[in-house]
Amino acid sequence: MSGESRKEIEKTELLVQVARLYYEHNFSQNDIAKKVDLSRPYISKLLNEARRRGIVKIEINDPIMTESRMERSIRKYFGLDRVIIVPKVQEVGALRQVGEAAARYLDSIIRSGDVIGFSWGETVYECVKALSRREDLQDIVAVQMCGGVSNVKKNVYVSEITKVFSEMLNSAGYMLPFPAIVDNEKSKGVIEKEHTMQEVLRHAKQVNIAIMTMGRFGNQCALARAGYLKPEEIEQLTQKGAVGDICTHIIDRNGELCDLSLDERTIAVPYHEIRRIETRIGVAIGDSKVESILGALRGHMVNVFITNEMTAEAIKEACQDIFE
């Protein structure tokens, strides 16, 4: 046995030991730290890893779909199927918390044969990174629904998202290796005739679960930083009411396309087709995304919404009618 294999076995043994002490024998994290001679923060990290690997699976049986007053208010106001608002935990980053909540929801609904569509970005990456490994699923397909961006300092995780889906769900993965926005309709027409594009779009038409984030709009948005939108275009779109994007489609406050000519140059699953997907999970946090979130909700682009308490409070401030 190689040293690498031995090390992996020892790590798995430690994960199982720590998980048993915590979940089966009710040891506190401090007590476990003393018992195995490791720090308390490292024990917390091991417990999270045990959940991500599927060593520990937590199931809460909620036959009446219990929801908070805020979750219920947002769900009813926008006619959603489900709203999940994640409470704040000091020790865990907000994005990771929301990602884990989205992963748990996705894990609860996914079935063999599902076709999962995804947008790119750190938020979606945190969601798939927290998925449990599922050996019971077969014939899963994961497909990127919008072109990517390059020339930005911040990773948008397209290849990583596809890879993690493949590893955790044993899925076939299809990336869209084209820019989010091209110079003109003619260029888009050429791309649409590419074999790769046609194959991706063929699978995209079969998507029954989509997981997407709502992007902010402005000079610092990913599309602008990548050079796909020039400053004068940002100004023009702002005047037209642009508030954000979903799958790189620029939307206004009502969730409608902000500029049809721009959308004709956008490489993505057509906007109206996204609305037809059975389960459309929108995951987003942050004050800067509130207007984009509200636009997506008003436009019925998502029917499952997952966020955190701070963002929900900001939504409440921006649209008090929801809670009257």
Enumerate the domain spans of the chain. Answer: 3-52, 69-323
Residue 288, phi then psi, degrees to nearest 5: -70, -15
Are 323 and 315 spatial neighbours (Cβ–Cβ below 8 Å)?
no
Residue ranges with strand state E in the chain: 82-86, 115-118, 141-144, 172-174, 209-212, 214-216, 242-246, 249-252, 279-283, 304-308
Distance set, CA 182 to CA 63, 198, 217, 229, 276 (Å)? 48, 17, 18, 10, 25
The model's pLDDT over 41-81, given as tens digits with 9 standing for 90+, comes to 999 999 989 988 889 887 766 654 568 889 999 999 999 99
- Please list the ranges in the chain whose pLDDT falls under 70: 1-4, 60-66, 89-92, 151-155
What is the model's pLDDT at position 149? Answer: 80
Confidence (pLDDT) at 61: 62
The answer to whether 3-52 and 69-323 have equal CATH topology is: no
Domain topology for 3-52: Arc Repressor Mutant, subunit A (1.10.10)
pTM over 0.75: yes
What is the reported pLDDT for 157?
80
CATH code of the region 69-323:
3.40.50.1360
pLDDT given at position 154: 62
Please give the pLDDT value at position 315. Answer: 96
Q: For residue 91, what pLDDT is reported?
A: 60
